[in-house]
Amino acid sequence: MKLTGFELRRVRMPLVAPFRTSFGTQTGREVLLVRAVAGDAEGWGECVAMGDPLYSSEYAEAVADVLRRFLVPALAAGPPADAAAVAPALHRFKGHRMAKAALETAILDAELRAAGRPLSRELGAVRDRVPCGVSVGIMDSIGELLDAVDGYLAEGYLRIKLKIQPGWDVAPVRAVRERFGDDVLLQVDANTAYTRSDAALLAALDPFDLLLIEQPLDEEDIVGHADLAKRVRTPICLDESITSARAAADAIRLGACAIVNVKPGRVGGYLESRRIHDVCAAHGVPVWCGGMLETGLGRAANVALAALPGFTLPGDTSASGRYFRTDLTEPFVLDGGHLAVPSGPGLGVEPLPEILAEVTTGIEWLPL
């Protein structure tokens, strides 16, 4: 397949409600989409970088810049690249995993569409539907939180994840447990909000029988997580710290985590995500698929990944309506707490032209 170029498309997607975490509050998603074009074939990749460098060092405008100035020209200068060749071809450029992931995914989608193969089968999926959890942001009050959780359970979500930060941790977890009981699958996500000195506070979450505590400490503090894992009974899950299969292997070896959250954008793409899955499976470490408030394009790819055998915990692959009143694609709808894995070629979904046009704020063409 000979690529002719890439379209960078900026879209703005308002959220149905503000989403607050320890690093900020989002009211909308500024999304950079990458469309790979190869003759009659095309493919889509969604970049998960936020508008500001709060979750990671990457942000949408920086992604567009590095694609324009370095990554796409590097692909143009080499032999025709298939998706598997993208990471090696771009290896000399440090970091920028979210940019590389969007580029690789667009090429992979185009290849698979042209060949008539679904992404799920290409990755090694073993299920045609995946169990779904929901991420609940930090609220202004316990009452507001309980109402939100009640609504999500009524919709059928199989697992609740509470965002936490110092001052909003033990009390909301206790309230949710007291209101909804011990049978609800419950976990918390700190997004690096705590320090090593907070070990006793985090241990105070142990009585609530949580599935896991996600990324309590700074992403570079692997040793701190290993020490923390010895002081708390609740399993430690790493998110931001896991940037590659090698990073996952090192964290497991050091005892820094018992569970891994795989976010394809954070690790450089779905092919590296599969390698992380394989490393974790070899060590008996369960994985689950995290979310970055993706549109239907990114959600389709995440659902395909979550259908692999090692993904044994419900992920953040929520229904479209969790975040958007109108999605870019046909909406993903919860069915008995599960989402169906797209069975069409490539991602198995496409943007709806009228919706895409309505939310587009800019288009740029990068020829090869």
Closest Cα to residue 41, out of 106, 114, 103, 107?
114
Q: What is the pLDDT of residue 221?
A: 98
For the chain, residues classed under CATH 3.30.390.10 are: 5-116+352-367
Kindly tell me if the per-residue pLDDT of 79 is higher than 90: no
Kindly tell me if the per-residue pLDDT of 280 is higher than 90: yes
Q: What is the pLDDT of residue 22?
A: 81
Work out the average pLDDT over 163-175: 97
Catalytic one among 2, 94, 100, 163? Answer: 163
Q: What is the pLDDT of residue 360?
A: 98
Q: What percent of the chain has pLDDT over 90?
A: 94
Q: Is 263 tagged catalytic?
A: yes
Q: What is the pLDDT of residue 118?
A: 98
Work out the average pLDDT over 279-302: 97
The band of 1, judged by pLDDT with boundaries at 50, 70 and 90, is confident
Question: In terms of CATH, what superfamily is 5-116+352-367?
Answer: Enolase-like, N-terminal domain (3.30.390.10)
Q: What is the pLDDT of residue 202?
A: 98
State both tokens at 185. 């699958």
Catalytic one among 94, 100, 161, 263? Answer: 263
State both tokens at 82. 């298939």
Closest Cα to residue 318, out of 117, 157, 119, 129?
157
Taking residue 121's Cβ as centre, other Cβ atoms within 10 Å add up to: 14
Work out the average pLDDT over 58-75: 97
Q: What is the pLDDT of residue 23?
A: 79
Closest Cα to residue 57, out of 219, 273, 195?
219
Taking residue 302's Cβ as centre, other Cβ atoms within 10 Å add up to: 30
The band of 81, judged by pLDDT with boundaries at 50, 70 and 90, is confident
The band of 24, judged by pLDDT with boundaries at 50, 70 and 90, is confident
Task: Find the helix or strand (DSSP H, E) in which 30 lies.
Answer: strand 24-38
Q: What is the pLDDT of residue 85?
A: 94
Work out the average pLDDT over 300-318: 97
336-366 pLDDT per residue, tens: 999 999 999 999 999 999 999 999 999 999 9
213's CB contacts (< 8 A; 6+ apart) are 187, 188, 190, 202, 205, 232, 234, 235, 236, 237
Kindly tell me if the per-residue pLDDT of 139 is higher than 80: yes
More confident residue, 20 or 264: 264
Kindly tell me if the per-residue pLDDT of 78 is higher than 90: no
Work out the average pLDDT over 237-258: 98
Is residue 6 within 8 Å of residue 358, measured between CB atoms?
A: no
Q: What is the pLDDT of residue 14?
A: 93
CATH architecture of 121-340: Alpha-Beta Barrel (3.20)
Q: Is 2 tagged catalytic?
A: no
Q: What is the pLDDT of residue 307?
A: 98
Q: Between β-strands 24-38 and 259-262, what pairing exists: parallel, antiparallel or unpaired?
A: unpaired
The band of 316, judged by pLDDT with boundaries at 50, 70 and 90, is very high
Work out the average pLDDT over 128-141: 97
Q: What is the pLDDT of residue 80?
A: 75
Least-confidence region, from 49-58, 137-146, 222-231: 49-58
